[in-house]
Structure 1
Amino acid sequence: MDTSDLSRPRLGEENWLAAAYDVLTASGVEAVKVMPLAKRLNVSRTSFYWHFKDREELLEAMVRRWEDKNTGNLAARAEAYAESIAEALFNVFDCWINPDLFDARLDLAIRNWARNDAALQARLDQADARREQAMKEMFLRFGYEPQDALVRAKAMIYTQIGYFSMQVAESTAYRISLMPGYIEVFSGKPPSQKDLARFLARHPDRHAPAS
């Protein structure tokens, strides 16, 4: 062991994952390597092996985090209780404005990585299928025909992937201001004021105050 590390606080697994996340989302998976990460964290590479067997184990941890956070939370929001399809859609829209629920940068990084990794592409396909099924079932709960529900679910997924891929730059307040229109586009029905008020109440610091 490098004794110079003994005088420094020992880094935890989260420190390494955070550093790997920063590199992955900024420069791609090829840039995620143990020695550069150690230099970034100002420790020797031996510190890494307290937490991970090798680089592949670190990358696997990143993928599992993406699966649990992005796909897991998106499916959970689609399955959450709602009194109307508009409220159900607003539940899903929570993911688009709350980074604690859904990490758009990580989603894009995973998609870029999967282009050159067949095994990861298979997991990405499974994740997209789970997201699609959750959204389709959301529409089915509110009486939409199966084919209609599927098309609407796909439209939502492809729209959001487009947002990530194009790296659309718009304020959260502006994005929220468009959401009632998106509700009508995706569901065929405008949201009620009650539905909108419930949604805005969950995000008091993210939208512009009503005039």
Structure 2
Amino acid sequence: MTTVENIDTDEAPGGWRGSREGWLLAAREAFVTSGLDAVKIQPLATRLNLSRTSFYWFFKDRAALLDALLDDWEATNTRSLKTAAEAYAETITEAALNLVAVFMEGGPFEAGLDLAVRGWAHQSEDVAARVNAADAERLAAIRAMFERFGFAMAEADVRARTVYLVQIGYISMQVIEDMATRMARIPGYIQTFTGQPPTEAELRRFHAQCGFDGGR
């Protein structure tokens, strides 16, 4: 994951202003690690070693930054899930493995960010509405994946919910599970999700995709 220290800054008259990406990344890190109350302009400026006024070159106010955080969450998590659900696959089991891969450690779906946004939704009706809309969009993408492989709409819907709710359950319960244990369960999960076991070749590709060497 990119860190605040990796972000380049743009020199301007009067000193360093940072960059929009830098401010947003600092806000995301503070939000995920410390909660919404940590996303405030002065603490972020201190974190970035920038002046408070530098913030206003990139965002109108704190509300604009919070809106950008939600946009970033959707771009990071919803987009990565949809991309995986729409990816080429020769079988439904391969398609399901493509989808599960985004949730694995090191995958593009950021579990901590998703958990933080879901916590925020308990405090804001507007955020709750965005979370509900994102969930619906993600489920629709997974449902379409199953329909692409010939599953009837009703069955595709149930299977999509099974896949998605298991993954969100892992996040919401903050399950701690080493990679070898998770990988050992993957064939059973895929058979439950799709009604078919993955082939050995599909599992080998999945392991390679996730950077898993069999626990050696």
TM-score over 0.5 for the pair = yes
Where does structure 1 lack aligned partners over 5 or more consecutive residues?
Answer: none
Structure 2 unmatched runs, 5+: 1-11
Cα offset for 1:38?
Answer: 1.3
Q: What is the CA deviation profile of residues 25-76 of structure 1, one whole-angstrom value per residue up to 9, with x for unaligned ones?
A: 1222122111111122222211111211111111111111111111111011
Deviates more, 1:134-143 or 1:194-203: 194-203
User: 1:25 maps to what in 2?
Assistant: 32
Take 1:7 and 1:19, find their aligned partners in 2: how far apart are those partners? 22
2:134 & 2:31 partners in 1: Cα distance?
19
Q: Which residue of 1 aligns with 2:172?
A: 165
* Paired residue secondary structure (2:212): coil
What amino acid is the match of 2:19?
G
Whole-angstrom distance in 2 between the partners of 1:141 and 1:117: 36
Q: Identity of paired residues, percent? A: 46
> 1:12 corresponds to which residue?
19
Per-residue deviation, 1:194: 2.0
Secondary structure, aligned partner of 2:168? helix
C-alpha distance in 2 between matches for 1:186 and 1:100: 20
1:207 and 2:212 equivalent? yes
Q: Flag the structure with higher helix content.
A: 1
1:79 corresponds to which residue? 86
User: Distance between the aligned counterparts of 2:64 and 2:178, measured in 1?
Assistant: 36
- TM-score, normalising length: structure 2: 0.87
Match of 1:93 in 2: 100
User: Which one of 189, 197, 204 corresponds to residue 204 of structure 2?
Assistant: 197
Return the letter of the residue paired with 1:17. L
Question: Does structure 2 conserve the Cα–Cα contact (< 8 Å) formed by 1:87 and 1:195?
Answer: yes
> Shift of the alpha carbon at 1:180?
1.4
Distance (Å, rounded) in 2 between the aligned partners of 1:173 and 1:13 = 39
Aligned to 1:50: 57
Whether the 8 Å CA contact 2:82–2:142 is kept in 1: the answer is: yes
Deviation at 1:24, TM superposition (A): 0.7
Aligned mates of 2:212, 2:107 — CA distance in 1: 17
Secondary structure at the aligned position of 1:133 is classed as: helix
CA contact under 8 A between 2:118 and 2:131: conserved in structure 1? yes
Residue type of the alignment partner of 1:91: N
Q: Which residue of structure 2 lines up, in the alignment, with residue 155 of structure 1?
A: 162
5 Å-filtered alignment, 1:138-149, equals 138-149=145-156
CA drift of 1:89 comes to 0.4
SS in 2 for 1:97: coil
Q: Supply the RMSD in Å over aligned alpha carbons.
A: 2.0
Q: Is the 8 A contact 1:174 1:207 kept in 2?
A: no
Give the length in aligned residue pairs: 205
- Quick one: distance in 1 between partners of 2:61 and 2:82? 31
1:145, distance to aligned residue in structure 2 (A):
2.1
